[in-house]
Amino acid sequence: MNGSTDMPALYLDACATSPPAAEVLEAMAEVHRNAWANPSSLHGFGVAAAEVLERSRCSLADLLGCDSEELLFSSGGSESIHLALLGVAAALPPGRLLISAVEHPATLAAAEQLRRQGWQVVNVPVNHLGQVDRAALEPLLAAPTRLMSLIWGQSEVGTLQDIELIGGLCRAAGVLLHVDAVQVVGHRPLQFHTLPVDLLSLTAHKLQGPRGIGALLVRQGVPLLPLIGGGGQERGRRGGTEPVALAAGLARAVALAHGRLQAHGGLDPLEELRDSLLESLLALGGLELTGPDPRRGEVRLPHHISLLVSDQRGRPLDGRALVRAVRVSGKDAIQFSQDTEQLAQLIAQQAQDGDVVMCMGAGSIGTVPARVLALQATASGGQA
């Protein structure tokens, strides 16, 4: 780590949380000032807040390709996942839930609750790239399977599942599919109505939005009972006074991400940076990419790199305990960050000191707003 204090640190942990965009902060400040009332109140202050809330919902629905009635606000990815699994299960007779072997702990926790309620929970195996094994999945889709939950973009090794294919199989078998799209929203175009998916979870803080808000998309007609009762908010499906400013922040963050994708022909501009950084890193030796390898045409999250760092004897280093931030200092952080070879050198120097480097996302790379390249030592199996 460089001892200099006058240079900004390079933030490479955006798959855990991305720094909120300035536009997001501004949108939220405006709401805190002018639409701070309870959106359920019938007076003018309440109506102003309700208008902002519903405008945010409509904007999100428009960008994500769903109807506004299909979008529920939640506190984030973990809550959305719990609402999807437990809320759907509560409306169905007990059956079998399929999850993949590479789910986020939030899904594992919700599945465990269902297991205690009498559901059978089965892990569908994945191949060496973390992709669901189709041959193993197909027979499992038979009765009594009623529901499947699948992580679309894997936060540790960057695997992207073929949601169209798996959703098609689920549809054909009459199995409802929930997708954890927490790492995907904002990094690739997504139109809910065109996907063979029944429920989809997302969270704001992975795409330059605020922490404390997410959403669950629920296709019309999918049975869902609330986990939290209360004042009838969110059409009776999630009680609690809505955080209007956070909703506006989420809407702004998704709009920014959408604009970025549109400006780059539907591709995440981070993908190019990811590839050039990856190339520079791997050229140094001692680092091994985990998960899909874009150099072999394998598809992975466009903003994500996961690396196994070996010691000088070639033994993989044990992750979490050794993880530390890489701080960048030099003449010019922006210029530096554009020079991925230099960045790679710096990371390698750190790694040669006997560290596992774990860094994901970046504060700023060139003109790309915050959040970037994911470099994650996966030796520990720690979760983003």
Ligand X SMILES: Cc1ncc(COP(=O)(O)O)c(C=O)c1O
- Closest separation between CB of residue 107 and ligand X, Å? 7
Cβ–Cβ < 8 Å for 269, 241: no
Q: Which two tokens stand for residue 341?
A: 């070879």
- Closest separation between CB of residue 180 and ligand X, Å? 5
Phi-psi region of 240 (alpha: psi -120 to 50; beta: other; left: phi over 0): left
Nearer to ligand X, 104 or 303 (CB): 104
Secondary structure letter of residue 316 according to DSSP: B
- Closest separation between CB of residue 84 and ligand X, Å? 11
Site residues for ligand X per CB under 6 A: 76-78, 104, 106, 151, 155, 180, 182-183, 203, 205, 214, 384
- Closest separation between CB of residue 338 and ligand X, Å? 27
Length of the chain equals 384
- Closest separation between CB of residue 330 and ligand X, Å? 31
Nearer to ligand X, 24 or 328 (CB): 24
- Closest separation between CB of residue 103 and ligand X, Å? 8
Q: At what angle do helices 22-34 and 244-263 cross, to 10 degrees?
A: 150
276 — phi, psi (to 5°)? -75, -35
Nearer to ligand X, 337 or 376 (CB): 376
Cβ–Cβ < 8 Å for 306, 374: yes
User: Which among 175, 173, 247, 235 has a CA at the least distance from the CA of 210?
Assistant: 247
User: Which among 155, 146, 156, 158 has a CA at the least distance from the CA of 99?
Assistant: 146
Euclidean distance between CA atoms 122 and 141, whole angstroms: 11
Nearer to ligand X, 351 or 375 (CB): 375
User: Which among 168, 183, 112, 176 has a CA at the least distance from the CA of 138?
Assistant: 168
Nearer to ligand X, 182 or 346 (CB): 182
Nearer to ligand X, 24 or 49 (CB): 24
Cβ neighbours, 10 Å, residue 279 = 14
Residue 368 amino acid letter? V
Nearer to ligand X, 145 or 183 (CB): 183
Euclidean distance between CA atoms 326 and 191, whole angstroms: 36
**Cα–Cα–Cα angle for 57, 231, 65, nearest 5°?**
20
Q: Which two tokens stand for residue 366?
A: 């060139």
Nearer to ligand X, 203 or 340 (CB): 203
Nearer to ligand X, 186 or 328 (CB): 186
- Closest separation between CB of residue 324 and ligand X, Å? 20
Secondary structure letter of residue 295 according to DSSP: G
Cβ–Cβ < 8 Å for 357, 344: no
- Closest separation between CB of residue 49 and ligand X, Å? 23
Cβ–Cβ < 8 Å for 152, 180: yes
- Closest separation between CB of residue 376 and ligand X, Å? 11
- Closest separation between CB of residue 75 and ligand X, Å? 7
Euclidean distance between CA atoms 157 and 155, whole angstroms: 6
Nearer to ligand X, 77 or 294 (CB): 77
Cβ neighbours, 10 Å, residue 381 = 8
Tell me the residue nearest to ligand X as measured from the CB: 77
